[in-house]
Structure 1
Amino acid sequence: MRLSLHTGILVTLALLAEAVPTPEPRALPLVQSNQLRRLLLRSELLKKGQTLQDFAYATVGRNRYIGTPGHNATVNYLVDTLTATGYYDIEVQPFTVPSASADLSVDGVTYEAAPMTFTAAGTPSGPLIPVANIGCDAADYPAELAGKIALISRGTCTFATKAALSKAAGAIGTVIYNNVEGLLQGTLGGEGNYAPTVGISQADGQTLLALVASGTATAGLIVELSEVLTYNVIAQTKGGDKENVLAVGAHIDSVEAGPGINDNGSGSIGNLEVALQLTKFSTNNAIRFGWWSGEEEGLLGAEHYVTTLPQEERDKIRLYINFDMIASPNFVYEIYDGDGSAFGTTGPPGSAEIEKLWEDYYKNDVRIPTQPTEFDGRSDYGPFLDFGIASGGLSSGADGVKTEEEVALYGGTAGQIYDPNYHTAQDILANTNVGVWVQMAKGIAHAVATYGRSFETLPAKTKRSEKREAHTYQRKGGKWVY
């Protein structure tokens, strides 16, 4: 597949039937963990990582951001590679995501601003009015705000709450400043009645507060919106019980800053390599691999996939496992806290069992220490959890700060984040930890082989409620919620 347009993808899908045939899955040996793990090679991870980096560097933006040639090349590569196996039924799922740009100036000075996902468009201009406290109550919004632009601190409640209250008070624009260092990049979580809404840094917020305190400050916002067509790729084994499915996912989009080889080329390649080596085996249960787009914009690809599945299809997914950033240079070995013992947030029934599977595997089979990590909504498991689907996953760490205790376990540098290149142009192949990548990929293979054989260690299958559970996670992918 060599295209960047939707029409070309449809043409490629029409040709899938011409793929080279492979033996019927039933004729292949039943998958075993040690045999599948043995086939995963460092050289293949590196080769595929170089391929994704080449896709990024062949473009002006040098990234694989949604809607760009680098991202579409990644989609093409996945479809072509998986189609050639003849082992999978493949779906390319198109959907659109909102895209925005923002400019903020105050008294003629330009400030860096990040549009909130799901913001309204517009070009409001007017006096900048600080909101009392942190803007979580209607009483915080003064009557004088009508027809003006609100300046609000981040904190406690969601950005959607602040933006909605601001609009209700008559504001024509909303500027939310960070309460920690760095530019605030957030999401409003979904469509709503909002004025143009942007995030700025804590330092710029303090500067603007001082300007207002010394007199009047006039702000101008320009927020422009567009829609980007992008794609999920789903590949399900032709063999195995289609009524009992293991879903395995990772996101394939990068941020605009760079090629995104750890975040999340590492997870998407780890899954791809397991999928390719799985073709040498049969499975008792169907395995469904999903490569999601739009994660960095707020889990939009996984959200679209899960919400558009009929309930009867969601009920067939016994377990979803997610892999995001599995080659961090200043690494840890993290397993999502499915039983809630560490962070108090318990996943749906089955989430504790996948956590234990990996705890036992890393402790007993490969003798690598692990630690729990929180279900905080920052990756694509979030929408699955919302619909009551058991979930788990592995990560080697993102922007958490490594402790002295973790250095004692894994080596590395205390006081430094797990991936110092996170969301930067330096998230490249040379800055990944390939040894960790291999061990994480083998963890993926162990789960795929185990549940490809049997779900007997999971709770009995039940019909789930169609009602979505409302989780208020702090993050949605690369965007903050509050």
Structure 2
Amino acid sequence: MVRKTILTPILLVLCISITACSPPVQEVTSDSRDHVGSAILDSLDVDRIYSNAEELSKEPRVAGTASEKNAANFITDQLETYGYSVESQPFDFDQYIFPNQVELTIEGIEKSFSPAPFQYSVSGDVTAELINVDKGLASDYETNDVLGKIVVASISDVYFEEMVLNAAGAGAVGIIIVFKDGLQNDGWSLGKHHDDYIPTIALSPNEGKSLLNLMDDNKSLTGTITIEGANIEKHESQNILVTKPSKTSDEIIIVGAHYDSVESSPGASDNASGTAVLLEIARVLESVKTDKELRFLFFGAEELGLLGSEKYVDEMTQKEIKNTEAMLNMDMVGSADAGPLTMFTVDGFSNTVTDTAKSNQKIPLELTDLSDHAPFHKVGIDAALFSYFPLEEWYHSPHDEIDKISKERLDEVAKLVAVSVLKLSMK
């Protein structure tokens, strides 16, 4: 169910053109608060938002590919049409190539296993004695000699990366991670590439129990882990940046969205919708004189681990971080099949962004760090994600197409975020 939008007028805009030519900059004063909201909201063009989302979602926009670059060029062209000077922030990243062969065999045992790799599992062909190290904690290696052996560890609350590095640091040549009931053993990641990783595979709960039972029943077992085809390739992505300066304040308000998609998905909801809404907000605010600097940021490579937003935050100066009052992020803001409009913060607590938005509309607040607001939060900037939740069933699938996008929902988010940005940008 879509919640009804309740918006409070706050600023006056005499004219905002929807043509390619930008009108003269109009000054907004505190005396004109009663008229601004309706002028801004009337200028938002949901048909334009939908059209831009449709253009962006004609093909998947996987980070580092020509299609992602094409999307970046489209965004740049649109922003220049609106009258902005556009900056590109390129960055390199490591693209993990999954292995084409993953095997586990046990010497003298006919039972077959179906291990799965982790993202960032390294290639290797190692044969060694198997040894059970319980949960694979650092303390588990104090009483176990694993030098030159393959360790078997059962997951607990320790990061997979830590489990692998603990084993490698103790001299193991490979690690088998056994999953617990209720968790599938595929689709997981070691977080990032590390030069000290050793061949790592995951076993399902049933296969893991079988292996541990075999180890209990036999004095010594020798296993072989084979991983072939895993590789790291260098690719390039880019953030697209627009700055709308202010002559009256050093304070900064940031509005962002990522424009890449996952492989095989047109990404209409995730996240052509957020990108298109951000483009429209940038368009209607181009002619508005605000008290604070506005930055409109279009992030690349979000789907690979927030790489674009992390790059941007890493490049911010301490002065910029200190002066940034708020970051508003939009991700999946058009799906007709998702739940109601929801705000997310990294810690689940309200902040400047959520308090401002809630003054216009009653919106639930949830917790997540799985989008581009997270890197800003980590450096102390009040940040929040706007999205519809729970997610649609076709999330990250080939069915994330433009016909699943609701104009009403695009319009709802565009109005809410635009008004919130205007409120935040006035002293």
The interval holding the TM-score normalised by the smaller chain is 0.7 to 0.9
Number of aligned residue pairs: give it.
Answer: 386
Deviation per residue, 1:12-55 (Å, 9 max, x gap): xxxxxxxx98455356899933322222233222211211121x
Equivalent in 213, 216, 224 of residue 218 of structure 1:
224
> Partner of 2:360 in structure 1?
361
CA distance, structure 1, for counterparts of residue 416 and residue 383 of structure 2: 15
> Partner of 1:25 in structure 2?
25
> Partner of 2:79 in structure 1?
82
CA distance, structure 1, for counterparts of residue 37 and residue 301 of structure 2: 32
> Partner of 1:51 in structure 2?
55
In the alignment, is the contact (CA less than 8 A) between 2:327 and 2:383 conserved in 1?
A: yes
In the alignment, is the contact (CA less than 8 A) between 2:95 and 2:233 conserved in 1?
A: yes
TM (norm. structure 1) is 0.72
CA distance, structure 1, for counterparts of residue 154 and residue 398 of structure 2: 29
CA distance, structure 2, for counterparts of residue 319 and residue 42 of structure 1: 25
CA distance, structure 2, for counterparts of residue 155 and residue 184 of structure 1: 17
Distance 1:46 1:247, change over 3 A: same
2:344 is matched by which residue type in structure 1?
Y
CA distance, structure 2, for counterparts of residue 28 and residue 149 of structure 1: 68
> Partner of 2:317 in structure 1?
310
CA distance, structure 1, for counterparts of residue 414 and residue 185 of structure 2: 33
> Partner of 1:165 in structure 2?
166
Give the 3-state SS of the residue equivalent to 2:250 in structure 1. Answer: strand
How far has the Cα of 1:277 moved from its partner? 1.9
How far has the Cα of 1:327 moved from its partner? 2.2
CA distance, structure 2, for counterparts of residue 196 and residue 134 of structure 1: 18
In the alignment, is the contact (CA less than 8 A) between 1:138 and 1:165 conserved in 2?
A: no
Distance 1:275 1:220, change over 3 A: same
Instruction: Tell me, yes or no, if structure 1 residue 330 matches structure 2 residue 330.
Output: no
CA distance, structure 2, for counterparts of residue 154 and residue 294 of structure 1: 29
CA distance, structure 1, for counterparts of residue 132 and residue 401 of structure 2: 42
> Partner of 1:207 in structure 2?
207
How far has the Cα of 1:331 moved from its partner? 1.5
Equivalent in 390, 394, 399 of residue 386 of structure 2:
394
In the alignment, is the contact (CA less than 8 A) between 1:101 and 1:114 conserved in 2?
A: no
Distance 1:217 1:90, change over 3 A: same
Provide the alpha-carbon RMSD of the alignment: 3.0
> Partner of 2:137 in structure 1?
136
Distance 1:294 1:274, change over 3 A: same
Give the 3-state SS of the residue equivalent to 2:380 in structure 1. Answer: coil
1:427 is matched by which residue type in structure 2?
D
How far has the Cα of 1:152 moved from its partner? 3.9
> Partner of 1:480 in structure 2?
none
Give the 3-state SS of the residue equivalent to 1:315 in structure 2. Answer: helix
Equivalent in 391, 395, 401 of residue 428 of structure 1:
401
Unaligned regions of 5+ residues in structure 2, if any? 1-19, 106-111, 215-220
Instruction: Tell me, yes or no, if structure 1 residue 378 matches structure 2 residue 370.
Output: yes
Deviation per residue, 1:332-379 (Å, 9 max, x gap): 2212258x6xx4xx4xxxx5232122222113xxxxxx21111x3211
Percent of aligned pairs with the same residue?
22
| 1:65-464 equivalent positions in 2, closer than 5 A | 65-86=62-83, 88-103=84-99, 104-107=102-105, 111-116=115-120, 121-127=122-128, 129=130, 131-139=132-140, 143=144, 145-176=146-177, 179=180, 180-181=183-184, 183-188=186-191, 193-197=196-200, 200=202, 203=204, 206-211=206-211, 213-214=213-214, 216-222=222-228, 223-239=230-246, 241=248, 243-328=250-335, 329-337=337-345, 343=348, 346=349, 352-363=351-362, 370-374=363-367, 376-397=368-389, 400=390, 418-454=391-427
In the alignment, is the contact (CA less than 8 A) between 2:123 and 2:226 conserved in 1?
A: no
In the alignment, is the contact (CA less than 8 A) between 1:146 and 1:171 conserved in 2?
A: yes
1:220 is matched by which residue type in structure 2?
T
CA distance, structure 1, for counterparts of residue 343 and residue 296 of structure 2: 19
How far has the Cα of 1:290 moved from its partner? 0.9
Give the 3-state SS of the residue equivalent to 1:453 in structure 2. Answer: coil
Give the 3-state SS of the residue equivalent to 1:135 in structure 2. Answer: coil
2:388 is matched by which residue type in structure 1?
S
CA distance, structure 2, for counterparts of residue 258 and residue 216 of structure 1: 42
Q: Which has the higher contact order (CA 8 A, sep 6+)?
A: 2
Give the 3-state SS of the residue equivalent to 2:288 in structure 1. Answer: coil
How far has the Cα of 1:284 moved from its partner? 2.1
Distance 1:421 1:316, change over 3 A: same
Q: Which moved more, 1:76-85 or 1:328-337?
A: 328-337
How far has the Cα of 1:388 moved from its partner? 0.9
CA distance, structure 1, for counterparts of residue 42 and residue 94 of structure 2: 42
Give the 3-state SS of the residue equivalent to 1:442 in structure 2. Answer: helix
Instruction: Tell me, yes or no, if structure 1 residue 37 matches structure 2 residue 33.
Output: no
Give the 3-state SS of the residue equivalent to 2:48 in structure 1. Answer: helix
| Bigger-Rg structure (1/2) | 2
2:285 is matched by which residue type in structure 1?
L
CA distance, structure 2, for counterparts of residue 325 and residue 178 of structure 1: 31
Q: Which moved more, 1:141-150 or 1:315-324?
A: 141-150
TM (norm. structure 2) is 0.80
In the alignment, is the contact (CA less than 8 A) between 1:25 and 1:283 conserved in 2?
A: no
